[in-house]
Amino acid sequence: MTPAEETHLILPPRTTYLVKQLELAIRAGMDVIAGEYGVTSLQYTALSVLARHPGLSAAQMAHRSFVSPQAGNEMVRILERKGLITRTPDAYNRHIKRISLTPAGRTVLSRCDVLIDQLEARMLDALPPADVEALRTALRACVRSLAG
Amino acid sequence: MRHVVRAFSAKLSGQLAEHGVSEAEYVSLFALRRIPNMSNADLSRWTGVSPQGTNEVLKSLIASGMVERHPAADHGRILEACLTERGEEVIAACEDAANALEAEMCSGLRPHEVAVFWDLLRRCAEGLGAPINDQGSPPVRLARSSSRSRV
């Protein structure tokens, strides 16, 4: 066995590992910021999804926020209790509850957005614009390959 | 950008979960496949998970019949963990799946693009003040090939 082959057996798949580690680092940074406004990074993600797509159901919100439907339901309850979102029955199907941000929810989101944009800027600070574009392209190519 | 990273990461977790083990369990099985007979403390050091967390993971793996514990040969009070036959089968299947997933994921990139991608991911983590140490390979080899000398 060549050293390269042996190393391959010892280490976990590297792309997977690096992406996971970077995601953990991003999430840790986001948790600190979101925590200052009383939400978690996952709740922040859900708020930003709702800002872009008002009127989603809990299931649609969960899907777009990358959490399970169960976790999504729980999150909706928590965000509603904090007064950051409201649920109103759909005009045609009263069983479906449409979610939207309250003014308080919008305030939390915009304050977090400013700080999280700074976090992203710090992450990309050392990269020239062409490298940022290359990173974006590579991530998209990977997501596309996995989706196919 | 962060949304793409999260989407990507969530997808990976989901695919690993299909093999019936959590990510934390996968990491412990992965380590025990390479270094059998580790104590709770050894395993915790290797995986970077807290000793309490490691203990929970081991309990769950013992309950599902993938790991067993026995007293250490040279120190009766320390319990060492090793994979059961079922644990060996599960981790082999998980690693095959993880390697296949990685290959599929990178199928749209040329080899040199993959190397550049790794470098970019590392530099992002450094920018966040959380450098990823994946360069020094752990001083281990596959348990089954331990008779093979590594020069």
Length of chain A: 148
Question: SS3 of A136, please?
Answer: helix
- pLDDT tens for residues B31-85? 999 999 999 999 998 888 889 999 999 999 999 999 999 998 887 788 999 999 9
A132's CB contacts (< 8 A; 6+ apart) are: A124, B1
Contact A63, A71 (CB under 8 A): no
- The domains located in chain A, with CATH, are 3-147 (1.10.10.10)
As for the ipTM of the complex, it is 0.77
Q: Is residue B16 over pLDDT 80?
A: no
Q: Is residue B142 over pLDDT 80?
A: no
Mutation target among B23, B120, B146 for the A interface, most CBs of A within 10 A: B120
Residue B6: half-sphere exposure toward Cβ, Cα within 13 Å: 17
- pLDDT tens for residues B111-128? 899 999 999 999 999 999
Question: SS3 of A12, please?
Answer: coil
Residue B138, pLDDT score: 47
- pLDDT tens for residues A14-23? 888 888 888 8
Question: SS3 of A101, please?
Answer: strand
Contact B31, B80 (CB under 8 A): no
Residue B17's pLDDT band (boundaries 50, 70, 90)? confident
Dist. CA A10–CA A2, nearest whole Å: 13
Residue B135, pLDDT score: 59
Q: Is residue A10 over pLDDT 60?
A: yes
Q: Is residue B149 over pLDDT 60?
A: no
- The DSSP bridge partners found for residue B75 are B72
pTM over 0.90: no
Question: Checking DSSP bridges between strand A97-101 and strand A85-89, what pairing results, if any?
Answer: antiparallel
Length of chain B: 151
B17–chain A Cβ distance below 8 A for any pair: no
Residue A132, pLDDT score: 93
Q: How close B99 gets to chain A, by Cα (Å)?
A: 6
pLDDT average, residue stretch A53-63: 92
Question: SS3 of A120, please?
Answer: helix
Comparing A54-58, B13-17, B35-39, the range with the smallest average pLDDT is B13-17
Cα–Cα distances in Å, from B79 out to B27, B56, B82? 19, 14, 10
B85-105 and A14-36 helices, crossing angle to 10°: 90
* Nearest residue in chain A measured CA to CA from B115: A15
- pLDDT tens for residues A91-148? 898 888 999 999 999 999 999 999 999 999 999 988 999 999 999 999 888 888 887 6
Q: Considering CB atoms only, which of B12, B113, B127 is closest to A16?
A: B12
- The domains located in chain B, with CATH, are 15-106 (1.10.10.10)
Residue A9, pLDDT score: 54
Residue A94, pLDDT score: 86
Dist. CA B55–CA B27, nearest whole Å: 13
Dist. CA B61–CA B29, nearest whole Å: 9
Are the beta carbons of A6 and B104 separated by less than 8 Å?
A: no
Closest CA to A64 of B107, B3, B122, B74: B3
Residue A31, pLDDT score: 92
Is residue B65 left, alpha or beta, with left meaning phi > 0 and alpha meaning psi from -120 to 50?
Answer: left
Mutation target among B121, B135, B140, B151 for the A interface, most CBs of A within 10 A: B121
Counts of helices then strands in chain B (DSSP H, E): 6, 3
Dist. CA B91–CA B102, nearest whole Å: 16
Residue B46, pLDDT score: 85
B13's CB contacts (< 8 A; 6+ apart) are: B23
What are the φ and ψ backbone dihedral angles of B81, each rounded to 5 degrees?
-105, 145
Residue B141's pLDDT band (boundaries 50, 70, 90)? very low
Q: How many CB atoms lie within 10 A of CB A60?
A: 18
What b/e readout covers A89-120, taking b as 16+ CB neighbours within 10 angstroms? eeeeeeebbbbbbeeebeebbeebeebbeebb
Residue B118, pLDDT score: 92
Q: How close A107 gets to chain B, by Cα (Å)?
A: 20
The alpha helices in chain A, defined as continuous H runs, are 3-10, 14-36, 41-52, 58-64, 69-81, 103-124, 129-147
- pLDDT tens for residues A63-80? 888 888 899 999 999 999
